[in-house]
Amino acid sequence: LPDNLNTLDADLAKNLRDAFALHPWVREVNEVRVIHPETIRVKLAYREPVAVVRTARSLEAVDCDGVLLPAAELPDPQLYLTVTGVRSTPSGPAGTAWDDPALQAAAATADALSPHHRTLGLTTIDVSGFRAGSGNQGSVYLLTEQGTRVKWGRPPNVDYPGEVPVEDKIERLTKYVSENESLDKPSGPYEIDITHWQEISIRSRSQTPPRSR
């Protein structure tokens, strides 16, 4: 945009809308109003980071739609879930979608967990075993800092018959934490599977036989 704007310009509102829409932090331009003689009001919906993605070259931030965000302007990365297992790197600049099904799966999962992950003690989403477009897509896994691994299953953006609803998965994890203080207690780290319809299974990561709850 030029330094000075003419509020009598008939195309000004459209040009402002187009300009703001290009900003990588802008999710949607809700309204542009040009009020004579010299007032312009713009209402924007902003992108919100839900995860940081660890790649071979860097640490990148994404929103719930898998859109790449400006890393230099990201708040403390420790506030967000870290995504591992993404084999690609971003194909475009900040403000464009990261075209990788595994990344999209991770972003959707992070968005579903974003109000809860710190309470649950979750730090990482692992999509190294996720394969889009195949009969057996594999699963998304969640990890705690102490090493407990949770089999989350398919991401929320995948409609699959028999998949446990997201709300039920979160409720199961929340209930376990409320009863045991954390996903790593009483004697973890554990392998926890929350993909069964009737119960969750828990076993030590030292390969002892599983137990159900």
Percent of the chain with pLDDT over 70: 94
Residue in the block written with tokens 């075209």: 99
pLDDT at 23: 95
What's the confidence (pLDDT) of residue 135? Answer: 57
pLDDT of residue 213: 55
Across 77-183, where does the E strand assignment appear?
A: 81-84, 122-126, 140-144, 149-153
Residue 45 φ/ψ, nearest 5 degrees: -105, 130
Q: Distance between CA 213 and CA 200 in Å, rounded?
A: 6
Q: Do the Cβ atoms of 5 and 37 come closer than 8 Å? A: no
CA distances from 43 to 19, 31, 65, 74 (A): 13, 5, 21, 22
Whether the Cβ atoms of residue 130 and residue 171 lie closer than 8 Å to each other? no
pLDDT for the residue 72: 74
Low-confidence ranges of the chain (pLDDT < 70): 75, 133-137, 207-213
Q: Give me 137's structure tokens.
A: 């897509």
* Per-residue confidence (pLDDT) for residue 82, from 0 to 100: 96
What is the bridge-based pairing of β-strands 68-69 and 59-62?
antiparallel
Partner residues linked to 68 by β-bridges: 62
Q: At 135, is the secondary structure helix, strand, or coil? A: coil
Question: How confident is the prediction for the chain on average, in pLDDT?
Answer: 90
Choose among 58, 72, 59: nearest CA to 25: 72
CA distances from 152 to 18, 34, 116, 144 (A): 39, 48, 14, 13
Following DSSP, what letter does each residue of 7-42 receive, concatenated?
TT-TTHHHHHHHHHHTSTTEEEEEEEEEETTTEEEE
